[in-house]
Amino acid sequence: MSNLTREETEALIAEVLEVYPEKAKKDRAKHLAVNDQSVEQSKKCITSNRKSLPGVMTIRGCAYAGSKGVVWGPIKDMIHISHGPVGCGQYSRAGRRNYYVGTTGVNTFGTMNFTSDFQEKDIVFGGDKKLGKLIEEIEGLFPLNKGISVQSECPIGLIGDDIEAVSKKAAAAFNKPVVPVRCEGFRGVSQSLGHHIANDAIRDWVFEREGKDAQAFEPSPYDVTIIGDYNIGGDAWSSRILLEEMGLRVIAQWSGDGTLAEMENTPKAKLNLLHCYRSMNYISRHMEEKYGIPWIEYNFFGPTKINESLRKIAAFFDDSIKAKCEEVIAKYQSMVDAVVAKYKPRLTGKRVMLYVGGLRPRHVIGSYEDLGMEVVGTGYEFGHGDDYDRTIKEMGNSTLLYDDVTGFEFEEFVKKVKPDLVGSGIKEKYIFQKMGIPFRQMHSWDYSGPYHGYDGFAIFARDMDMTLNNPCWHKLTPPWMKPAEEAEPVAKAA
Amino acid sequence: MANIMIRRGDKGEYVFYLPKRDLEDTIVSMEFDTPEKWGGEIKLNNGGAYLIEPQPAPERLPYSVRAKRLDAAE
């Protein structure tokens, strides 16, 4: 199907909205838009970061997901207690594939679930004692942990437990950071507030902590940090090698494969490199103001954007880095050319619809374009106005933008736009696969990855080809449903 | 009154940031912009206007300051 014109896209949105009651229709209409690159400010065409409508199937998460799942969870040498009932922690355990190096259960704890397992009596009498006991037990069982964070689940806020007092007491008793994070799930409209709360907790409880400068640190003029890269399938590693080949020294990874010591060292960096703007811009802005560390956004998806980003990063440093940056780009050029030569002919002209969170709805567009594919619709689960400001320029004219899309709207859009590939989360995966549309789970790279960097691009191209050109998509109609003439050779063969 | 943060953009212009609303925008005009007197009425690219109590210019940007909303864009 050829691309839709502006009028057709507008008509499509109107058609999809038709089923809603009057009030819901009015509300949802503000979240759906046709992209227009001439618009300077996204809020003129799209509303975002608003409460989801009751009754629709939203794809969002909660503040606890934003704090424990995204920001704090990947910090490997700390223990993150899911404080509250057992489910929140158990059902999200290790689902995000934040890879790390270490011995789980000894000095790293990334894929483990620690919970206070609230029961009725804890709700009635309060859970502070239980939390204190839990921290003591952790210290006994896992003495090599570098610190503990207490990630509140909904009941903690509802019953008014004083986790700060317990944390302060435990921190003094064990001489380790114990960070209370007030990320109860009901706060805010999506996981986005959880990111903010988690960032503020790092600011107040990690940066401000006494005795954090105890470790030796020798500064170099090329110290940078990777901020907002969660090492999904090894993403941060494939980003890090590029920066190191350029001659930079990566002193911290936030927070994929990151440690507490790295976080504490971050204020000594020369430049903060921010990948996921949505989840970590808060702390980057704080460090810029308090410690005078500039930050820049970069994009390591697809060679075009990688080259652009590497040059942008090198521009902050002296000529030796700039020269090495060009060497790195030249070094990988032949590999990139081979990948493009192999996969572009198989993928060119294919159309993609995305619906993910964080940075991917705009960052991966470059990757697809490098393979000759086109993104015809994109949207954020929990983006804000500033995310859409940055997205409008990346997307083609009269493509679809959808904020906090509902299950129904997304299905209808896909039915009408008929993309060749849909990239979204696990909840959408099987719906679209059953509809016969190739699908990639773009939250954790469909159990593949890494996708960052030049090495990641090769894997990305392979995965997209593997999904799109999989022979199974021609087998969706069973033989007895096929028209007679088509079914015949099968009958003969049998 | 709202807490805002003012920083330098890529082209040396002032950039306004209102954390509460995730509003990031360039400042098109600032009433006073000298080392001794800095602030006053600021106008944003989106049409909004805020008032910063005139004060000596901050030694370093970014700088967090309280500002009063005169005219929001929405």
Query: Which H, E and C letters describe chain A, residue by residue?
Result: CCCCCHHHHHHHHHHHHCCCCHHHHHHHHCCEEECCCCCCCHHHCCCCCCCCCCCCCCCCCCHHHHHHHHHHCCCCCEEEEEECCHHHHHHCCCCCCECCCCCECCCECCCCCEECCCCHHHHHHCCHHHHHHHHHHHHHHCCCCCEEEEEECHHHHHHCCCHHHHHHHHHHHHCCCEEEECCCCCCCCCHHHHHHHHHHHHHHHHHCCCCHHHCCCCCCCCEEEEEEECCECCHHHHHHHHHHHCCCEEEEEEECCCCHHHHHHHHHCCEEEECCHHHHHHHHHHHHHHHCCCEEECCCCCHHHHHHHHHHHHCCCCHHHHHHHHHHHHHHHHHHHHHHHHHHHHHCCCEEEECECCCHHHHCHHHHHHCCCEEEEECECCCCHHHHHHHHHHCCCCCEEECCCCHHHHHHHHHHHCCCEEEECHHHHHHHHHCCCCEEECCCHHHCCCCCHHHHHHHHHHHHHHHHCCHHHHCCCCHHHCCHHHHHHHHHHC
The model scores a pTM over 0.90: yes
For residue A40, the model assigns a pLDDT of 77
Q: Any idea what the Cα angle at residue B58 is, between residues B34 and A295, rounded to 5°?
A: 120
**Burial, B63: exposed, middle or buried (Cβ in 10 Å; 0-12, 13-18, 19+)?**
middle
Q: Is the pLDDT of residue B51 over 50?
A: yes
Domain encompassing residue B12: 2-71
Calculate the dihedral angle through the C-alpha atoms of A285, A75, A203, A289, rounding to the nearest 10 degrees.
-20
Catalytic residue (choose from A80, A83, A96, A275): A96
Which whole-number Å values give the CA distances from A368 to A24, A351, A415, in the listed order? Answer: 34, 9, 21
Cβ atoms within 10 Å, residue A115: 20
Q: What are phi and psi of B11, to 5 degrees?
A: -100, 15
Element housing B6 (H / E):
strand B2-8
Using DSSP's 3-state secondary structure scheme, residue B19 falls into helix
Q: How far is CA A234 from CA A95, A241, A243, A255, A456, in A?
A: 14, 11, 15, 12, 9
Q: Which of B24, B46, B64 sits opposite A386 (nearest CB)?
A: B24
Could you confirm whether A96 is annotated as catalytic?
Answer: yes
What's the Cα-to-Cα distance from A169 to each of A7, A135, A264, rounded to whole Å? 63, 11, 21
How many helices and strands, by DSSP H and E, does chain B display?
Answer: 0, 6
Q: Find out whether A88 and A153 touch, Cβ atoms under 8 Å.
A: yes
pLDDT in tens, A273-288: 999 999 999 999 999 9
**In the predicted structure, residue B6 carries a pLDDT above the cut 80:** yes
Catalytic site includes residue A341: no
Predicted pLDDT at A212:
75
Q: So what's the pLDDT on residue A21? A: 94
What is the spatial distance between Cα A61 and Cα A149, in angstroms, rounded to a whole number? 20
Sequential pLDDT tens for chain A (494 residues) = 457 889 999 999 999 999 999 999 999 999 999 998 888 778 778 989 899 999 999 999 999 999 999 999 999 999 999 999 999 999 999 889 999 999 999 999 999 999 999 999 999 999 999 999 999 999 999 999 999 999 999 999 999 999 999 999 999 999 999 999 999 999 999 999 999 999 999 999 999 888 777 778 899 999 999 999 999 999 999 999 999 999 999 999 999 999 999 999 999 999 999 999 999 999 999 999 999 999 999 999 999 999 999 999 999 999 999 999 999 999 999 999 999 999 999 999 999 999 999 899 999 999 999 999 999 999 999 999 889 988 998 898 889 999 999 999 999 999 999 999 999 999 999 999 999 999 999 999 999 989 999 999 999 999 999 999 999 998 888 888 888 765 555 555 55
Q: Which two tokens stand for residue A37?
A: 């690159």
Q: Which residues pair with A380 in a beta bridge?
A: A356
Q: How far is A38 from chain B (nearest CA, A)?
A: 15
Instruction: Give the minimum alpha-carbon distance from B46 to chain A in angstroms, rounded to a whole number.
Output: 8
The CA–CA distances, whole Å, from A341 to A221, A292, A307, A350, A366 equal 39, 44, 18, 16, 17
Q: Do B22 and A285 touch (CB under 8 A)?
A: no
Flag whether pLDDT at B53 surpasses 80: yes
| Minimal C-alpha gap between A186 and chain B (Å) | 18
Query: Which candidate in A33, A63, A65, A252 is catalytic?
Result: A65
- The contacts of residue A218 (CB under 8 Å, 6+ apart) are none
- Give the CATH number for residue B23: 2.40.50.240
Q: Residue A484: its pLDDT value, please?
A: 73
Closest by CA position to B26, among listed B40, B13, B10: B13
CA distance A97 to A445: 9
Residue pair A261/A220 in contact by the 8 Å Cβ criterion: no
Return residues 6-65 of B near A (CB < 8 Å). 7, 17, 19, 21-25, 45-46, 60, 62-64
The whole-angstrom separation of Cα A223 and Cα A27 is 47
A199 touches chain B (CB under 8 A): no
Percentage of the residues of chain B whose pLDDT score is greater than 70? 96
Tell me which residue in B23, B45, B63 faces A385 most closely, judged by beta carbons: B23
Q: Amino acid identity of A207?
A: F
Select which of A195, A363, A384, A452 is catalytic.
Answer: A195
Cα A485 from Cα A136, distance rounded (Å): 73
Q: Is A276 considered catalytic here?
A: no
Put simply, the chain A residues between 370 and 409 with a CB less than 8 A from any chain B CB are 384-386, 389
Q: For A293, which residue in chain B has the nearest alpha carbon?
A: B62
DSSP one-letter code for B35: S
Domains and CATH numbers, chain A: 1-60+348-447 (3.40.50.1980), 63-188+190-214 (3.40.50.1980), 223-328 (3.40.50.1980)
Mean pLDDT, range B26-54, rounded to an integer:
88
Alpha helices in chain B (DSSP H): none
> How far apart are the C-alpha atoms of A425 and A443, rounded to whole Å?
6
Contacts of A285 in chain B (CB under 8 A): 5, 7, 17, 19, 62
**Has A472 been annotated as catalytic?**
no
Q: How far apart are CA A62 and CA A153, in angstroms?
A: 10
Using DSSP, state whether B56 is helix, strand or coil.
coil
Instruction: Please list, in sequence order, all residues whose beta carbon lies within 8 angstroms of the beta carbon of residue B30, skipping any fewer than 6 positions away.
Output: B14, B38, B39, B40, B41, B42, B43
User: What is the total count of domains within chain B?
Assistant: 1
